[in-house]
């Protein structure tokens, strides 16, 4: 019995231990040994104005992106779950097609739309609406749009399962008691999907924090987020110790965030 | 039965979100037909030169072929490990199942950039020992992708297993079936759709993986996403628009075929 247990569970666990857990310890070692032994890099990461400004920008942009993505996902999920059959099919395609398309293609789509010679600026100038091209990308605006676009489908799934669980009769009862449609929505439906909203917010925020490709492409080096900063410190202006220290801090922060929410989800909130 | 349908305002808002979701995908099309060398709109003149470049420049074909091979190795390897693991948890229900599951989920919940740095450390360390599995090699990338996609395979197979009736396994066991018979003759056939889904998802995730790939490759193991990244980062190569149109067309076709098949099945029932 013992042998079979090892035989089934062990391969994946050993593989992840060798390829992930032990290397992560190596990254931790980098963070306290490069360039010199000590906690200097952690001190730099938490006091250096440049690093702090990147962390602050990351939290700010991720919070904005999270709220926007979940709000927009809520709108489209509402139709997906509660619309008529044709509508439902159409919405499903609108969610699934972007979901399966790679992050690079989607970021490129935004470049095609927003860059100086992209669709909006070309048409705007041709039609005489714009005197000169608007700077829509390679800045925070582009980063936010691209990230929201990427994250909406991920917010849809927890929202959809919460909305499907809503008991239709409760809504009808509220209607029957004379509540307006708007009131049924805001005071009955939305509170009943609270766990889904919360789950979607958390999922999207955690995803957004570790985001690298979209901000790097659409931010054009001007609005660097934490993930891109790590990349820069490893490959562009090498300071491996600092890159490793920021990675460890990020891992701990996300771990704490997840633990807190698990505690909350198990607690009296449910 | 849904009786309270979303009203006009809700429908309009959802339609706006739908437009937002599809807009950048549609925007790629006119750019791909531009006659120019830089990112610009195809005006009066349309040209297929960027599509021709996809065929004529061997780098694209090589990138696609490398990505397919890496995807196959990574999806088969990670699904095999994930299947054994999920079966182990399901059949034996070990005492520390939660901890084992937590370790298996780690690459999925950790920020991708931290995983990327970790795998960079892993592969550069391996490179000091050998030239086959390491930084910027085929097997190195395949191993790193396996790490990243394994948690997704575990999730899909665990979900599939949760729908299997334990009693059929108990029946097989009480009639004297050994572990191998139970696994391959009893349980695996019952989770075949989960297995296919796990293989498919892990292949797709490896096929489009870029965050980790950027950290662990430079000039030798250039996968398709890596090649696209190089054409996107500084000067935008319109060939990216052409390859994007091709990739979008594939996804749209697959999603449409799947939807039509589901609708047909629904009608038959």
The Cα B211–Cα A83 span in angstroms is 37
What integer is the mean pLDDT of A67-91?
A: 92
Q: What is the pLDDT of residue B47?
A: 84
The Cα B239–Cα A105 span in angstroms is 12
The Cα B115–Cα B215 span in angstroms is 10
Judged by CB atoms closer than 8 Å, whether chains meet at B104 and A76 is answered as no
B24 CB-near residues (< 8 Å, 6+ apart): A106, A109, A110, A112, A113, A149
- Positive or negative, the CA dihedral B195, B201, B202, B207 is positive
The Cα A147–Cα B208 span in angstroms is 17
Q: What is the pLDDT of residue A268?
A: 45
**Residue A57 to chain B, least CA–CA distance (Å):** 17
**Residue B129 to chain A, least CA–CA distance (Å):** 15
Q: For testing the chain A interface, which of B15, B17, B153 should be mutated: the one with the most A CBs within 10 Å?
A: B17
What integer is the mean pLDDT of A161-171?
A: 91
* C-alpha B180: how far from chain center: 30
Place of tokens 């980790």: B212
Average pLDDT over chain A reads: 89
The Cα B46–Cα B33 span in angstroms is 5
Judged by CB atoms closer than 8 Å, whether chains meet at B110 and A78 is answered as no
The Cα A67–Cα A62 span in angstroms is 9
What band does A269 get if pLDDT is binned at 50, 70 and 90? very low
Q: Which of A104-108, A121-125, B40-44 has the lowest mean pLDDT?
A: B40-44
pLDDT at residue A265 greater than cutoff 70: no
What pTM does this model have?
0.91
pLDDT at residue A255 greater than cutoff 80: yes
Task: Choose among A23, A73, A251: nearest Cβ to B122.
Answer: A23
* C-alpha B113: how far from chain center: 17
- Give A13's contacts in chain B (Cβ within 8 Å): 85, 100, 103-104
The most distant pair of C-alpha atoms in chain A lies apart, rounded to whole Å, by 77
What band does A266 get if pLDDT is binned at 50, 70 and 90? low
Cβ pairs A/B, distance under 8 A: 275
Judged by CB atoms closer than 8 Å, whether chains meet at A8 and B107 is answered as no
Q: What is the pLDDT of residue A2?
A: 54
pLDDT, tens only, A4-39: 557 788 899 999 999 999 999 999 999 998 888 888
- Positive or negative, the CA dihedral B233, B236, B237, B240 is positive
Residues of chain B with pLDDT under 70: 1-3, 268-269
Judged by CB atoms closer than 8 Å, whether chains meet at A117 and B41 is answered as yes
**Residue B208 to chain A, least CA–CA distance (Å):** 6
Q: What is the pLDDT of residue A270?
A: 35
The residue length of chain A stands at 270
Using the 8-state DSSP alphabet, how is residue B117 labeled?
H
Structural domain spans, chain B = 69-222
Please tell me whether residue B194 adopts helix, strand or coil conformation. helix
**Residue A93 to chain B, least CA–CA distance (Å):** 7
Judged by CB atoms closer than 8 Å, whether chains meet at A11 and B84 is answered as yes
Judged by CB atoms closer than 8 Å, whether chains meet at A97 and B251 is answered as yes
The Cα A179–Cα A171 span in angstroms is 9
pLDDT at residue A200 greater than cutoff 50: yes
- Fold exhibited by the domain A49-266: MetI-like fold (1.10.3720)
The Cα A56–Cα A46 span in angstroms is 11
Asked if the bond preceding A35 is cis, omega within 30° of 0, the reply is: yes
Q: What is the pLDDT of residue A109?
A: 93
Structural domain spans, chain A = 49-266
Judged by CB atoms closer than 8 Å, whether chains meet at B25 and A97 is answered as yes
**How many CB atoms are located within 10 Å of the residue A59 CB?**
16
* C-alpha A45: how far from chain center: 23
Mention the CATH class of domain B69-222.
Answer: mainly alpha
Using CA atoms, how far residue A237 sits from A34, A124, A233, B138, in Å, is 14, 39, 5, 27
Judged by CB atoms closer than 8 Å, whether chains meet at A19 and B147 is answered as yes
- Give B267's contacts in chain A (Cβ within 8 Å): none
Residue among A25, A34, A57 nearest A233 (CA)? A34
The residue length of chain B stands at 269
DSSP count for chain B of H helices, then E strands: 13, 0
The Cα A101–Cα A121 span in angstroms is 25
Alpha-helical segments (H) within A115-239: 119-126, 140-164, 168-176, 181-183, 190-192, 194-209, 213-219, 226-231
Q: What is the pLDDT of residue B214?
A: 93
The Cα B145–Cα B140 span in angstroms is 9
Judged by CB atoms closer than 8 Å, whether chains meet at A247 and B114 is answered as yes
- Give B10's contacts in chain A (Cβ within 8 Å): 75, 78-79
pLDDT, tens only, B195-233: 999 999 999 999 999 999 999 998 999 999 999 999 887
A86 versus B131: the higher-pLDDT residue is: A86
Contact A9, B100 (CB under 8 A): yes
**Rg, chain B, Cα only:** 23
The Cα A109–Cα B39 span in angstroms is 11
Q: Which of A209-223, A236-250, B68-82 has the lowest mean pLDDT?
A: A209-223
Using the 8-state DSSP alphabet, how is residue A230 labeled?
H
Judged by CB atoms closer than 8 Å, whether chains meet at B89 and A9 is answered as yes
């Amino acid at each position: 019995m013992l042998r079979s247990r090892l035989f089934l569970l062990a391969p994946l666990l050993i593989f992840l231990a060798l390829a992930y857990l032990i290397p992560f310890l190596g990254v931790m070692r980098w963070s306290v040994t490069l360039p010199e032994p000590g906690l200097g890099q952690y001190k730099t990461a938490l006091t250096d104005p440049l690093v702090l400004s990147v962390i602050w920008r990351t939290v700010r942009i991720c919070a904005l992106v999270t709220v926007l993505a979940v709000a927009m996902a809520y709108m489209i999920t509402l139709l997906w779950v509660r619309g008529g059959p044709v509508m439902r099919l159409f919405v499903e395609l609108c969610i699934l097609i972007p979901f399966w398309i790679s992050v690079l293609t989607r970021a490129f789509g935004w470049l095609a739309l927003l860059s100086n010679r992209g669709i909006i600026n070309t048409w705007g100038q041709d039609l005489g609406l714009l005197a000169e091209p608007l700077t829509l990308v390679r800045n925070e605006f582009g980063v936010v749009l691209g990230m929201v676009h990427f994250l909406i489908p991920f917010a849809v799934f927890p929202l959809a399962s919460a909305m499907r669980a809503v008991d239709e009769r409760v809504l009808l009862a509220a209607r029957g008691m004379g509540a307006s449609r708007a009131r049924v929505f805001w005071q009955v439906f939305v509170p009943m999907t609270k766990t889904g909203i919360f789950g979607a917010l958390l999922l999207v925020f955690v995803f957004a924090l570790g985001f690298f490709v979209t901000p790097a492409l659409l931010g054009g080096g001007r609005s660097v987020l934490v993930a891109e900063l790590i990349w820069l410190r490893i490959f562009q202006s090498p300071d491996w110790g600092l890159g490793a220290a920021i990675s460890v801090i990020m891992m701990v922060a996300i771990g704490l965030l997840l633990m807190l929410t698990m505690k909350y989800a198990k607690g009296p909130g449910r | 039965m849904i009786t309270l349908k979303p009203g006009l305002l809700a429908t309009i808002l959802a339609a706006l979100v739908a437009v937002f979701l599809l807009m950048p995908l549609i925007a790629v099309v006119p750019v791909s037909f531009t006659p120019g060398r830089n990112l610009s709109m195809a005006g009066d003149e349309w040209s297929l030169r960027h599509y021709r470049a996809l065929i004529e420049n061997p780098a694209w074909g090589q990138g696609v072929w490398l990505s397919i091979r890496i995807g196959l190795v990574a999806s088969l390897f990670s699904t095999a490990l994930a299947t054994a693991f999920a079966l182990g948890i399901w059949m034996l229900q070990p005492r520390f199942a939660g901890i084992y599951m937590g370790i298996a989920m780690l690459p999925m919940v950790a920020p991708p950039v931290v995983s990327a740095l970790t795998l960079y450390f892993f592969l550069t360390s391996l490179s000091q020992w050998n030239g086959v599995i390491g930084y910027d090699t085929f097997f190195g990338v395949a191993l790193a992708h396996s790490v990243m996609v394994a948690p997704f395979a575990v999730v899909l197979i665990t979900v599939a297993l949760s729908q299997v009736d334990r009693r059929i396994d108990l029946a097989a066991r009480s009639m004297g079936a050994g572990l191998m018979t139970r696994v391959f003759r009893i349980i695996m056939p019952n989770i075949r759709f989960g297995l296919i889904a796990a293989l498919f998802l892990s292949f797709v995730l490896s096929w489009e993986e870029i965050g980790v790939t950027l950290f662990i490759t430079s000039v030798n193991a250039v996968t398709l996403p890596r090649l696209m990244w190089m054409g996107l980062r500084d000067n935008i190569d319109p060939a990216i628009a052409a390859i994007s149109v091709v990739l979008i067309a594939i996804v749209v076709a697959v999603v449409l075929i799947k939807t039509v098949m589901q609708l047909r099945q629904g009608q038959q029932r």
